[in-house]
Amino acid sequence: MFKYEKMLEYPINIRKKDLRMAKLLMAQLGGPDSELAASLRYFCQRYTMPDAKGKALLTDIATEEFGHVEMIQTMIYQLTKDASLKELKDAGLDNYFVQHKKGIYPVDASGVPFTVSYFQSTGDPIVDLQEDMAAEEKARATYENLMDLTDDSDLLAPLSFLRQREIVHFNRFKELHDDYKKNGLK
Amino acid sequence: MYFDERENYLDYVGEAVNNYIEVEDKDHNELNNHETYHFKNNKIYDINNININNYRDNMSIDLSMPKDALNKGGIFKNIYDPYKNYVYKVVVSGERDELLLKIQELTFAMKDLGLYLDVYPNNTDIFDIFKSYEKELKELKKTYEGKYGPLNSFDVEGSKYEWYLNPWPWDKGVN
């Protein structure tokens, strides 16, 4: 069961409207290496983890990733909130607008809708954890690309936070993976 | 490997040299691929495995304070690796947002320690810190909820149903 906490994991308050960045941030909402893919991936994989540590770690990281989905959605919402139709059109968001207006919908930076075929749940803990480690690294690289594309510190601060979380998660997955490799699956 | 290989390696060498006592098998003079050593903290180290993160259980672990941890995106100093030296500090204004920020800092510190404890559940040092933050967080939440309404739909501190009220976390201009 889940309980909602009425706060973000990290405060977000974006003052400057930036539709270009809103469009690019979609990569981390509905893209292949997005927070949504990460969250669903770990939620699906946790059932076949071989011991208590694995079940706990995947549950906890999946839950945190869902909080990151909320952070990315908040950024996109705040970046687009005050945009006019003309501004959306100029930023190349008219094809988004025609189906969603300013609704938050998981697509990638090119407008391709989210699909669960972005991730696997193989039932094999070693295979799943190796996918998880790769996923964290891909998301880290995406955050670095996003950070290279903006100079707004209201955006850079949460992006830098989210990037560091990928590194922490990678390390925890790796530690669990190495533990299973070394000591065998219980 | 992407993560702080460089820092960990140095750390590992330092710890290993300082804590070294004796080779487990005294008759065995040659190093082989499965050599193990006993260190002062009674843990067995596989010298061929360079991933120091496997052995962090009982080593001294440097932690940031909760405020700094939220700014950085992690409480464990050993795996902090900023991009292009970008470092940001969260600044909020107003009594409500400042109180909420303290709650966010402690929640985050506990979250990050929790992930560590999932993998290393027997680390009592970390668990003690985890417990102390939990106590602090409980007090802060009570204060916040008494003044500004519930953070969780099952929490009741006031006399009316206030869960539904604005602001919601994504609203502009609030923390």
Residue B172 and residue A81 in contact, taking contact as beta carbons nearer than 8 Å: yes
pLDDT at res. A186: 64
User: Does some domain include residue A76?
Assistant: yes
pLDDT at res. B31: 43
Whether residue A10 and residue B49 make contact (CB cut-off 8 A), yes or no, is no
Dump pLDDT digits (tens) for B5-22.
Answer: 333 333 333 333 333 333
Residue B61 and residue B76 in contact, taking contact as beta carbons nearer than 8 Å: yes
Residue A99, CB half-sphere, CA atoms under 13 Å: how many? 10
Residue A125 Cα, gap to closest chain B Cα (Å)? 15
Work out how many domains chain A is built from and give that number: 1
Q: Is the pLDDT of residue A166 over 80?
A: yes
Which residue among A74, A174, A182 places its CB closest to the CB of B170? A74
What's the whole-number average pLDDT of chain B? 76
Pick from B77, B96, B75, B74: nearest CA to B140? B96
User: Which chain B residues touch A8 with a CB distance below 8 Å?
Assistant: 104, 169-170, 175
Dump pLDDT digits (tens) for B34-53.
Answer: 444 444 444 444 444 444 44
Pick from B39, B156, B121, B108: nearest CA to A164? B108
Give the DSSP H/E element, type plus range, for residue B46: strand B44-46
Give the DSSP H/E element, type plus range, for residue B39: strand B36-39
User: Does some domain include residue A8?
Assistant: no
Whether residue A11 and residue B104 make contact (CB cut-off 8 A), yes or no, is yes
Across residues B69-80, what is the average pLDDT? Answer: 96
Whether residue A164 and residue B81 make contact (CB cut-off 8 A), yes or no, is yes
Identify the residue whose tokens are 């070394």: A182
Across residues B112-139, what is the average pLDDT? Answer: 97
Distance CA A13, CA B106 (A): 20
User: Does some domain include residue A120?
Assistant: yes
Percent of chain B at pLDDT exceeding 90: 55
Which of B83, B122, B137, B151 would best serve as a mutation to test chain A binding (most A beta carbons within 10 A)? B83
Dump pLDDT digits (tens) for A73-96.
Answer: 999 999 999 999 999 999 999 999
Dump pLDDT digits (tens) for A19-72.
Answer: 999 999 999 999 999 999 999 999 999 999 999 999 999 999 999 999 999 999
User: Does some domain include residue A175?
Assistant: yes
pLDDT at res. B60: 60
Which residue among A3, A8, A176 places its CB closest to the CB of B119? A176
How many CB pairs (< 8 A) connect A and B? 143
Higher confidence at residue B18 or residue A172? A172
Give the DSSP H/E element, type plus range, for residue B45: strand B44-46
Classify residue B73 as exposed, middle or buried by CB count within 10 Å of its CB (0-12, 13-18, 19+). Answer: buried
Distance CA B166, CA B162 (A): 9
pLDDT at res. B59: 52
- The CATH number assigned to the domain holding A142 equals 1.20.1260.10
User: Does some domain include residue A84?
Assistant: yes
Angle CA(A100)–CA(A107)–CA(B73) in degrees, nearest 5?
Answer: 120
Domain that holds residue A155: 19-183
Buried/exposed B19-32: b ≥16 CB within 10 Å, e otherwise: eeeeeeeeeeeeee
Which of A61, A132, A164, A166 would best serve as a mutation to test chain B binding (most B beta carbons within 10 A)? A164
Residue B168 Cα, gap to closest chain A Cα (Å)? 7
Dump pLDDT digits (tens) for A96-145.
Answer: 999 999 999 999 999 999 999 999 999 999 999 999 999 999 999 999 99
Check if A10 contacts B (Cβ < 8 Å): yes
